[in-house]
């Protein structure tokens, strides 16, 4: 636990200016670069960008933004959060992140996902009826590509490869599989020897503890060494709990209400929000001390050694996001390390 890693994830959400008007897509993307530069300055160890293709999250080419960030940073690791492998070509995904690994001098990572946001499927001509098969086949091919040897592969979802050398060869880089609640995905990650990233966006985080246990058991059954488990969850940090909750609530309410129309989420209420930001919810919203206590407790419960805070939400101003990043790096992360170094500290009370 004392060697835990801490990151920040963003979906490139469009922010609002001082007049409450949405900024342009170009400005939103440039702001992400500035946020990543600050993240390194305050000691954050990883910066991830999640692929989306919507007007409020205009981030369809995260690898290009990550390469730009690589040119302005030196140490922070850079990767996706997530790459929707099901609607992409595994060869191109491998090539893009192998290239990022080169330009960043070995700092690249990739998190592969089936796609909880499915706007990329019709965009690139994929049928949602093939949702499971697409991810299974493409993950299988990606695992072959990661071996760094000529690839022979055939399947239904793309043309076959016959002893094909896929370049560039830039060394290994970490591969994670993002999981939002599917045991099959947990076992799949273990089968291919990829690390597990638990995307926990609602409910009590401890309900994901069986997935961590299943992952390590599956690794053992497949004859693999233990691999890291990470946690990706949304949050917002401000000087006080009251300020953080007040700032985050209206944007969270509006975004979840809008997204919920197509994804089946319940409309947030002030009561449900209060539960999610409380000790047994999935939102890390509060002062540095409150957020640190919750991170430390849930890392223990989930037997995880990586925590990525998904900061920001549509509309929340860029200046507020910069404050969150600064507090997360300068106050939250050091405090979590203190809590994890004390065996009896950082534990949440048992839920009733």
Give the pLDDT of residue 345.
Answer: 47
User: Which tokens in the block code for residue 3?
Assistant: 């060697």
Digit-coded pLDDT (tens) for 171-218: 999 999 999 988 999 999 999 999 999 999 999 999 999 999 999 999
Contacts 24+ apart (CB under 8 A), 160-163: 161/91
Q: pLDDT (tens digit, 9 = 90+) per residue, 253-293?
A: 999 998 877 777 889 999 999 999 999 999 999 999 999 99
pLDDT at 131: 86
296 and 340 in contact (C-beta within 8 Å)?
Answer: yes
pLDDT score for 2? 61
Q: How many CB atoms lie within 10 A of CB 231?
A: 25
Give this prediction's pTM. 0.95
User: Do residues 59 and 71 make contact, with C-beta atoms less than 8 angstroms apart?
Assistant: no
For the chain, list residues with pLDDT below 70.
Answer: 1-2, 116, 344-352
**Cα atoms found within 13 Å of the Cα of residue 207, Cβ hemisphere only:** 13
Tokens representing residue 351 in the block: 């839920």
Could you give the dihedral angle defined by the CA atoms of residues 265, 324, 67 and 305, in that order, rounded to the nearest 10 degrees? -70
Q: How far is CA 121 from the centre of its chain?
A: 20
The CATH architecture to which 5-340 belongs is Alpha-Beta Barrel (3.20)
CB neighbour burial string for 318-331, b if at least 16 within 10 angstroms, e if fewer: bebbbbbbebbbeb
Q: What is the pLDDT of residue 1?
A: 57
Q: Which two tokens stand for residue 189?
A: 């990650």
Rounded to whole angstroms, the Cα distance separating 149 from 164 reads: 8
Distance CA 305, CA 299 (A): 7
Helices (H) and strands (E) in the chain, counts: 12, 12
The CB density around residue 250, as the number of other CB atoms within 10 Å, is: 12
CA distance 327 to 241: 13
How many whole angstroms separate alpha carbon 134 and alpha carbon 88? 9
- pLDDT tens, residue by residue, 107-122: 999 999 987 678 898 9
Report the SS3 class of residue 67. Answer: helix
Per-residue pLDDT at 27:
98
């Amino acid at each position: 636990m004392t060697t835990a890693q801490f990151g920040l994830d963003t979906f490139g959400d469009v922010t609002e200016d001082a007049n409450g008007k949405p900024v342009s897509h170009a400005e939103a993307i440039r702001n992400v670069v500035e946020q990543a530069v600050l993240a390194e300055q305050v000691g954050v160890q990883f910066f991830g960008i999640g692929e989306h293709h919507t007007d409020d999250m205009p981030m369809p080419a995260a690898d290009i933004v990550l390469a730009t960030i690589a040119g302005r940073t030196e140490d922070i690791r850079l990767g996706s959060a997530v790459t929707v492998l099901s609607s992409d070509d595994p060869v191109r995904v491998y090539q893009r992140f192998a290239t990022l690994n080169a330009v960043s001098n070995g700092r690249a990572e990739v998190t592969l996902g089936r796609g909880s946001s499915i706007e990329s499927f019709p965009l690139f001509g994929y049928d949602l009826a093939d949702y499971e098969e697409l991810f299974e086949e493409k993950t299988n091919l990606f695992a072959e590509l990661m071996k760094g040897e000529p690839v022979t592969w055939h399947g239904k979802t793309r043309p076959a490869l016959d002893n094909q050398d896929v370049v560039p060869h830039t060394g290994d880089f970490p591969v994670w599989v993002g999981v939002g609640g599917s045991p099959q995905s947990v076992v799949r990650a273990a089968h291919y020897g990829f690390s597990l990233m638990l995307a926990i966006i609602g409910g009590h985080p401890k309900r994901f503890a069986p997935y961590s246990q299943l992952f390590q058991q599956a690794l053992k059954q497949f004859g693999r060494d233990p691999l890291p488990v990470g946690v990706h969850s949304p949050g917002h940090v401000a000087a006080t709990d009251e300020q953080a909750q007040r700032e985050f609530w209206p944007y969270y309410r509006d975004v979840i209400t809008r997204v919920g129309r197509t994804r089946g989420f319940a409309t947030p209420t002030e009561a449900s929000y209060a539960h999610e930001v409380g000790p047994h919810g999935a939102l890390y919203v509060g002062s540095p001390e409150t957020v640190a206590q919750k991170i430390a407790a849930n890392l223990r419960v989930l037997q995880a050694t990586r925590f990525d805070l998904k900061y920001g939400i549509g509309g929340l101003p860029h200046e507020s996001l910069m404050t969150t990043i600064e507090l997360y790096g300068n106050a939250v992360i050091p405090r979590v390390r203190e809590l994890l170094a004390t065996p009896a500290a950082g534990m949440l009370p048992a839920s009733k």
